[in-house]
Amino acid sequence: MATPSHHQNPTPSTKKKKTHKNPEANFLYELNSCSKSKDLKAAISLYDSALSNNTRLNQSHFNTLLYLCSTFATDPDSKDLALRYGFRVFDHMMALNIHPNEASITSIARLSAAKGDGDYAFEMVKKLGDYQVLPRLRTYEPALFCFCQKLEAEKAYEVEEDIDKMGLSLEEPQIAALLKLSADTWRGERVYNYLHNLRRSVRWVSEETCKVLEDWFCCKASEIGSDVGSVKEAILRNGGGWHGLGWIGEGKWVVKKGNVEPNGRCCCCGEQLDCVDIDDVETEKFALSVAGLALEREVKANFREFQDWLEKYADYEAIVDGANIGLYQQNFAEGGFSVLQLDAVIKEMYTRSGNKWPLVILHNKRVRALLENPSHRKLVEEWMANGVLYTTPHGSNDDWYWLYATVKLRCLLVTNDEMRDHIFELLGSSFFLKWKERFDIHF
Ligand SMILES: [Zn+2]
């Protein structure tokens, strides 16, 4: 370590020595500033001088150079230089036996795609396996987009399969590219599947994706669809609007932009739309994950008992988060739990559903307190007599109970909270957002 006096008065010789001693660090520092200022030419001349000085280069040096080259690979003025040096740098790195990482491969794949060589880009992604490195979605993008652009459909689908095998999910840009490719090559079955993929994972499509869809339905879509009978049967079997049997109907498609009313009616044609965003398999999986988390946190026997009970009396259409409704906008300072407010919701749900009682989940501490109060007692007993109430046991968190019941029975949930974050973070599921959109009623 330098002493303070050293630090204040560095002799010219030590300063010079320091620069000379660590040319690698120096080189990286200068390279990074080229990268920041996006100066490709300066970076290349640095590289050239490092070569003539025999500077020992490492993975960071190569990655910085590769990244810079790849960002210029689509720039008309610098493309040639970027490609020439990009591949040279990569070959140099491989010759030194320095292992590429995901960033190096993404850069070289981008360079290959810029050259129009999707095959090499894809080969590079596969090479990552040799180094036990996992690719990311961005690593695949150059190969995928390159194949899509050149209408090399089979190769693009192969990249898609590989992405899937890696457990990665396509996002809108990739789905849209595959959709366009499939439309341009007249593969109706594929278009149909990508449409459903958009529905499942994207939900809101961009203007560009809309154009692809319009183009398909205006100019290319086939006129013959599945027969209506088998579609109806499939819808019944799946418990919803989803049938998965392909296009229905005959004649030319009418393409219009319009809105959907809150009740699900189409503003353009007045038809009632089916809800197809929640399918049975997904829902069952979600119910299982809720149960799994609940069983980890709740007394197992209690929660199992609830599951069995639900199985037996599974005839509800709505679940009421009792504590939440009873306490909503009550003055907490006075400890207010409004039995009348909760009762009003229960009766409202009863009438709305054509005389079916909802299920109210309430903690036993709360129920006991209500029963001890003579002015509430009658109402609570009435709920019990009507089979409205499920009392969760001592020490339980009733959130798990209403959540599980709602998902398991595909019920509507009546609550006021923006649903409680601590639970929903645990579920960490995009499925939950869809589900919430569909089943959450605010009182
Ligand atoms: Zn319509």
Cα 193 to ligand 1 centre (Å): 21
Give residue limits of the domains in the chain. Answer: 21-183, 280-442
Q: Please state which CATH number belongs to domain 280-442.
A: 3.40.50.11980
pLDDT at 410 over 90: no
Cα 259 to ligand 1 centre (Å): 9
pLDDT tens figures, 148-165? 999 999 999 999 999 999
Cα 48 to ligand 1 centre (Å): 63
Cα 287 to ligand 1 centre (Å): 33
Q: What is the mean pLDDT of the chain?
A: 84
Cα 262 to ligand 1 centre (Å): 14
pLDDT at 238 over 80: no
Cα 212 to ligand 1 centre (Å): 19
Cα 272 to ligand 1 centre (Å): 8
pLDDT tens figures, 35-85? 899 999 999 999 999 999 888 999 999 999 999 999 999 999 999 999 999
The CATH number, out of the four listed (2.30.40.10, 1.25.40.10, 3.65.10.10, 3.90.930.12), of the domain defined by the range 21-183: 1.25.40.10
Q: Do residues 393 and 319 touch, judged by C-beta distance below 8 A? A: no
Q: What is the pLDDT at residue 440? A: 61
Cα 267 to ligand 1 centre (Å): 6
Mean pLDDT of 322-328: 83
pLDDT tens figures, 164-181? 999 998 999 999 999 999
Higher pLDDT, 156 or 245: 156
Question: Which amino acid does the sequence have at 81?
Answer: L
pLDDT at 419 over 90: no
Q: Do residues 149 and 172 touch, judged by C-beta distance below 8 A? A: no
